[in-house]
Structure 1
C-alpha cells in the first residue's frame, strides 16, 4: 500500500495546475491523427457478396445501420479524439469499413469491457469490435470473424540495460508489470513457473489499475518492464519517447491467437462479416487502415469464421 500511495503522490504532482473537473489534453503520437474530423479515414464500398450473405431474418438493432460496440481503451486500437467525445482508432476505422461493405451506416455504442458479452447477447449491439481474442470458451456463446493478430509486448525504459526478452529465462528475477486476468498474465506466470522449476529466480509481478501510475512505476525504477498489449505500448513509446520494445509474442503463446469481430451465436452475421473482411484484405483497404495506425505487423492473410481458439483454462 505504501508503494501505491507513493506512486499516486508522484502522479498527482505531475498533474499539478489542472483546474478542478478538467481533463488532461490527449497528445497524439507522431504520425497519428486524433482529430475528431478524421479527414483521412478510409471509406469502403458496398460488397454485394457480403450483403447477399446476410440472413433475411437478421434484425439489425437500428434500421439501415450496423451497431457496433466498442470499448474505448488505448490508442491506436481505440481512444477518444482531442474533443474527448469522438471515438477514433483502428477498431472504429475497421468498423466503418465493415459497415460500408454491408451497405449500412455505422452506429457506435461505447461499452465497458465487462459489459460487452451481455450487450451483445441481449441485442444492444449487432457486433463487438474491441480487441476480443478468439477462445474456445467464448466460442460456446459467440461467433467470430478474425481480423488481427493478438500480439503482446515487453517494454522497458529507454535507458534500461535489458536488450531483449524472447524466452522464459530472460525474465528471471525481474520486476514486471502486467494486467490482471489477461492472457499476458497467464503467459508471464507460466514463464515464471518454468523458471522456478529450473532453479532460476522468480519474477516479481506488479499490477496497477491506472496506466499513469503504471508508467510512473516503470520510470521511477520500481519495475523493470511492462508486459501488455503491444499496440498500446508501441503507441505510448512513440508518443512519450520514454520506453522501447524488447520483445513481442502471440497473446496465445505458445499458440497463435487472433482477435475477431464478435457476433451473437447462431445469428448468421459472422459469415457476412468474414466475407466483408476478406474482400477488404484483398482490395488493400484493410492494410491501409492498419498502416494508418502503425499496426502493419499485426496483419492477417485471411479472415476466418470461428477458427480454433485458445483452449479453455
Structure 2
C-alpha cells in the first residue's frame, strides 16, 4: 500500500509549519568560497610518483574536478555563486593537495559528468558516485566513503532501531519513488507478507518541507533515504534521530569513489593519497566537518567489486 498526498493534504500538513522545527539556516554553515575551515594536506610523494608520465591534466599543474552543486552536505554553490563547497569539494582538496596540484573545482550537472570526464574536460569526478560493475567498464575508481541509506524518525518517536526487514512491518515509511531504497523496501514488504507480518505503507512526497512535517506530525513513522543528507540535517536540527543504516546496495556493500578516466593510470595515485589521509587523520576530520563520520572507510581501494549490473 502506498500513500501520495493530495494538494489538500499538503496544505493541511504545511499548516503545521509553525510547530515544526525549521531546517538549518544558511548562516550556520560557512558557504564562503574561501573555506578557511577546510582540511588541507601535504604532498604525498609516493602518490605523485604513481602519476603516469604521459597523463595529461585538463590544465597543467592543476587537478580539475567536477562537482554537482545542489544539496549539502555534498555540494552547493558558495556565496560567490560559482564555487562549489561541501563535503565533496573538501575531499577533492585533500586529493589535489596530496598530488601537489592546485584544485580547480568545476560545477556541472549530473548528466554531464561522464562525457566531461571521458573528453578530458575534468581529470576526476568527486560527487557521490557509487562504484558499479557497469561504470567500471568506462571509468576507474578510488573509494573514499560508504554508500549508506538511513532510517530517520522524529526525536520523540519510540522507534529505537530498524535493523532488519521485519522491523518495518506495520510502519508508515516515506521513500522517494524510483530509487534503490524504494526497491529495497518493496522487497522487504514482499518478504514480510510471505511471513504473515503486518503491511507497510509507503508514502511519497515531492516537497521536502512537507516530508519533514509528516514525520514530525506522526503522519509517517520513518523516512528511508540517503544517509548523508539526513545525517547532515539531523546534526543541525533537534527533531530527528537515526535508527538504522543499510548499504545502498543492500544486501551487497556499496562504496562511493573518486572517478577517473578508464586506463588513465590516475586512480592508483588518488588511492594512495586517500590512504595517506586516512592514516594521518585528515580524512576523518574532513568527514566529521559534514557529519559524515558514519560513512568512513578503513582503506581506499582501486576498482573494488561494484554493484552488479541489473
Shared topology, TM-score over 0.5? yes
Question: Which of these residues, 284, 293, 308, is aligned with residue 296 of structure 1?
Answer: 293
Counterpart of 2:234 in 1: which secondary structure?
helix
Pair 1:109 & 2:106 matched = yes
Q: 1:195-274 counterparts in 2 under 5 A?
A: 195-274=192-271
- CA shift in 2, pair 1:117/1:204, >3 Å: farther
Post-superposition offset of 1:119: 2.7
C-alpha contact (below 8 Å) 1:141/1:265 kept by paired residues: yes
Kept after mapping to 2: 8 A contact 1:29/1:239: no
Q: Tell me the TM-score normalized by structure 2.
A: 0.87
User: In structure 1, how many angstroms separate the alpha carbons of the residues matched to 2:168 and 2:17?
Assistant: 33
1:58-108 CA deviation, whole Å, 9 max, x = no partner? 222223211111122432232344565542222111101111111211111
User: Quick one: distance in 2 between partners of 1:7 and 1:124?
Assistant: 46
Partner of 2:191: 194
Displacement of 1:10 in angstroms is 6.2
Root mean square deviation, CA, Å:
2.8
Matching residue of 1:306: 303
CA contact (8 A) 2:173 2:203 kept: yes
Q: Residues of 2 paired with 1:60 and 1:212: CA distance? A: 42
Which residue in 2 is equivalent to 1:19?
none
* CA deviation profile, 1:215-253 (whole Å, cap 9, x unmatched): 233234332211111121112122222221111122222
Structure 1 distance, partners of 2:304, 2:58, is 26
Structure 1 residue corresponding to 2:169, chosen from 167, 172, 180: 172
Q: 1:262 to 1:98 in 2, by over 3 A?
A: same
Query: Among residues 25, 28, 32, which one is paired with 1:27 in the alignment?
Result: 25
Question: Aligned partners of 2:278 and 2:60: how far apart in 1?
Answer: 27
Determine helix, strand or coil for the equivalent of 1:3: coil
Gaps of 5+ in 1: 17-23
> How many Å separate the matches in 1 of 2:227 and 2:23?
23
Local SS of the residue matching 2:229: helix
Quickly say closer, same or farther: Cα 1:153–1:202, change in 2 above 3 A.
same
How far 1:271 sits from its partner (Å)? 1.1
The normalised TM-score by structure 1 is: 0.86
Name the counterpart of 1:46.
43
User: How many positions carry a matched residue from both structures?
Assistant: 305
- Structure-to-structure mapping, 1:42-191, within 5 angstroms: 42-81=39-78, 85-191=82-188
Contact 1:11 1:212 in 2 (8 A): no
Query: d(CA) in 2 for partners of 1:109 and 1:8?
Result: 37
Distance 1:273 1:11 in 2: 47
Partner of 2:7: 5
SS of the counterpart of 1:226?
strand
Superposed displacement of residue 261, structure 1: 0.5
Following superposition, the deviation at residue 195 of structure 1 comes to 0.9
The CA deviation string for residues 256-298 of structure 1, in whole angstroms up to 9 with x for no partner, is 2211101121222111111111121122211221222232222
Mapped to 2, the partners of 1:14 and 1:120 lie a distance apart of 45
Contact 2:67/2:108, CA 8 A, preserved across alignment: yes
Separation (CA, whole Å) in 2 of partners of 1:73 and 1:226: 20
Is 1:93–1:289's contact at 8 Å kept on the other side of the alignment? Answer: yes
